[in-house]
Amino acid sequence: MLKVLLRPAGPYEVNVILVWCDRTKKAALFDPAGDSEFVIEQIEREGLDILYLINTHGHLDHIFENHLIKSRFGVPLLIHPLDRPMLTDPSRNLSLYAGEPVVSPDADGTLEDGDTVQIGDESLRALHVPGHTPGSLVFYQPGMLISGDTLFSGGVGRTDFPGSSEQLLYEQIRSKIYSLPEDTVVYPGHGPETTVGEERRYNPFVRA
């Protein structure tokens, strides 16, 4: 299984997630929200080769330091095509209304439902889970799930933003996340780790 480093960062306490294959040292970085110097130090300390920069979705807090990571490592930026326009449009990524417009570099490629992200000997499968945003993605390999802002410990992503849908979010969580093995460790976009089984049983918003 991939090794995981989770680091809350930025004013919104987004979990920046670094994953890597221990044997090959190939790695991917998800949602660089801030404190990138710490992440860069970890990358250099572990001797990692970053292959991808991935955004689980296009909101400002998850794309805040895309530019810094891309300029430092020259890696391709990937996102779902439905959220791609949010990267370069402060009104769509909501930063315009937060008083600090964020313009990310455009994506170098896109990920669709079922696509595989190969990281050395390991891989993650992208699952499209619209609801929080039209193009929200989660990433799965047996034993772990990177859930972005779709599912939290005891919570779910907000659905009061343009393009959000509460009904769709709940449907997607039940069909694509709660169908995974109960012992799957969930690494969310905010807050502590949890498991699929814990959320199926106790999440007050969406139960199986």
User: What residues does each domain of the chain span?
Assistant: 3-202
| Contact present, 148 and 136 (Cβ < 8 Å) | yes
Q: Are 146 and 17 in contact (CB under 8 A)?
A: yes
Cα separation, 137 vs 4, in Å, equals: 18
Nearest to 93 by CA among 63, 70, 67, 69: 63
CATH 3.40.640.10 fits 3-202, yes or no: no
Is the full-model pTM beyond 0.85?
yes
Going residue by residue through the chain, which has 208 residues, state the pLDDT in tens, using 9 for 90 and above: 999 999 999 889 999 999 999 999 999 999 999 888 889 999 999 999 999 999 999 999 999 999 999 999 999 999 999 999 999 999 999 999 988 899 999 999 999 999 999 999 999 999 999 999 999 999 999 999 999 999 999 999 999 999 999 999 999 999 999 999 999 999 999 999 999 999 999 999 998 8
